[in-house]
Amino acid sequence: MTGRPWDQVAAEDLARLRNAHLLRERRIIEPVDATHVRWDGREYINFSSNNYLGLTHHHRLIAATRLATEKYGTGAGAAPLITGYGPAHASAERAIARWKGTQAAVILPSGYQANHAAIQTAAAIGRLGGNGVRFLVDKLAHASLIDAIRGTGEAMRVFPHNHVAKLQRLLEDAPAGQLQVVVTESIFSMDGDAADLPAIAELKQLHNFLLLLDEAHAAGIYGLHGNGLAAEMGVADAVDVTVMTLSKALGGIGGGVCASSVFCDALVNYGRAYLFSTSVPPTVAAAAEAAVAIVQDEPARRHRLRAISRHVRERIGRTKFGIPDGDSPIIPIVLGGERAALDAAQTLGSQGLLVMAVRPPTVARGSSRLRVTLCSEHTDAEVERLLGCVEKLA
């Protein structure tokens, strides 16, 4: 143990976490291809990546990245309002906005930052309106949304997961003139279930609110053009601000905020998470633009992903593990205790399947789980191998 008192405090708590099976540690996982990794000298089928469409290894994405690096170099060199915003960024933002059907889009270095900038912008607009702002957020919304709202210092009310009736009551009770910002995800990251977007969209007939939707786990997978769950459900017009990540189905890194031109202009002025950070490298923007094109050109990827997701859900649903509703490629196998989740992950690991255990505080205490995620590039034989092992586990 170190002599520095602050390190000692941390070391004691880390030891406590280790004893409680809650310590988080990184491991060095070497990618082999879109669905296989090497870890500790052994190869595994990766069932814990958000690389839903296998685009990380798509030849068009690799070519676009290489080309942009050769043309523009490796880094943007400055924040977007200094000299860091170039033709690759502008072109990718136009492509994303066209795809999402919004007037404009802004690219940020991560989905985490995109959520911060979008929330900061909504908060600033609320303050400007003179009557303040209040965020109404689903209980299972991602940490980046919660952190962002807390960071604004503005009022927040949490409604029970997917409880639209409670959300409606909160909207009915809203102080006159105060901007209400409803914040939810389309596909929830840990349970893989969907928000009741039609019901939330219907609330717009009765109440005036800004709807901010995080489509991190739906972009690329849902919608006729892979442009998200709101589009698939025919309620895209009800969504005022969409946040998406470029880091999951799109196979790269970064986040995007898609909204009206005015909101995006406001974000460029009020979104501190955007203003005070270096632009993504041009190569990241070029990769995002290529990914959006592939998603539209190759619908077979998302069709296969959704077909295997339904199949796996149906088969696991027949075991003692209940599966939440939906057809997303995020499939939670809830085991309860942390130890049980870690042991199950180890059992699957011994069969060459990499499935991570997810424990508190990422999920509620008592709901530790394996979080299986599927990729369109998993073969039928690999999917069957997973199912065989999970069925044995059950």
Instruction: Name the residues that contact ligand PLP, by CB under 6 A.
Output: 110-112, 115, 142, 144, 185, 189, 214, 216-217, 245, 247, 255
- Output the smallest distance, CB 200 to ligand PLP, in A: 16
Residue 186 a catalytic site member: no
Decide whether 347 or 362 has the Cβ nearer to ligand PLP. Answer: 362
Helix 261-270 with 111-129: angle, nearest 10 deg: 100
- Of the candidates 16, 62, 28, 27, the one whose C-alpha atom is nearest the C-alpha of residue 252 is 62
Residue 217 a catalytic site member: yes
Decide whether 254 or 385 has the Cβ nearer to ligand PLP. Answer: 254
Residue 392 a catalytic site member: no
Residue with the shortest CB distance to ligand PLP: 111
The residue from 93, 138, 154, 185 that is catalytic is 185
Decide whether 142 or 225 has the Cβ nearer to ligand PLP. Answer: 142
- Output the smallest distance, CB 390 to ligand PLP, in A: 23
The residue from 214, 215, 240, 338 that is catalytic is 214
Decide whether 54 or 192 has the Cβ nearer to ligand PLP. Answer: 192
The residue from 58, 89, 116, 217 that is catalytic is 217
CB 120 within 8 Å of CB 269: no
- Of the candidates 152, 118, 142, the one whose C-alpha atom is nearest the C-alpha of residue 260 is 118
The residue from 142, 277, 289, 327 that is catalytic is 142
Residue 368 a catalytic site member: no
Within 13 Å of residue 318, how many CA atoms lie on the same side as its CB? 9
The residue from 46, 48, 49, 50 that is catalytic is 50
Alpha helices in 108-194 (DSSP H): 111-129, 143-152, 164-172
The residue from 89, 225, 248, 378 that is catalytic is 248
CA dihedral 84, 87, 93, 94 (to 10 degrees): 160
Within 13 Å of residue 175, how many CA atoms lie on the same side as its CB? 10
- Output the smallest distance, CB 248 to ligand PLP, in A: 7
Residue 50 a catalytic site member: yes
- Output the smallest distance, CB 119 to ligand PLP, in A: 12
Residue 59 parent element (H or E): helix 59-72
Residue 100 a catalytic site member: no
DSSP 55: G
* E strand map for the chain: 30-31, 36-39, 42-46, 104-108, 133-138, 155-159, 179-185, 210-214, 241-245, 255-259, 330-336, 353-354, 357-358, 368-373
Q: What distance in Å separates the CA atoms of residue 309 and residue 207, rounded to the nearest whole number?
A: 36
Residue 269 a catalytic site member: no
Decide whether 111 or 226 has the Cβ nearer to ligand PLP. Answer: 111
- Output the smallest distance, CB 378 to ligand PLP, in A: 20
- Output the smallest distance, CB 168 to ligand PLP, in A: 23
What residues are labeled active site?
50, 142, 185, 189, 214, 217, 248
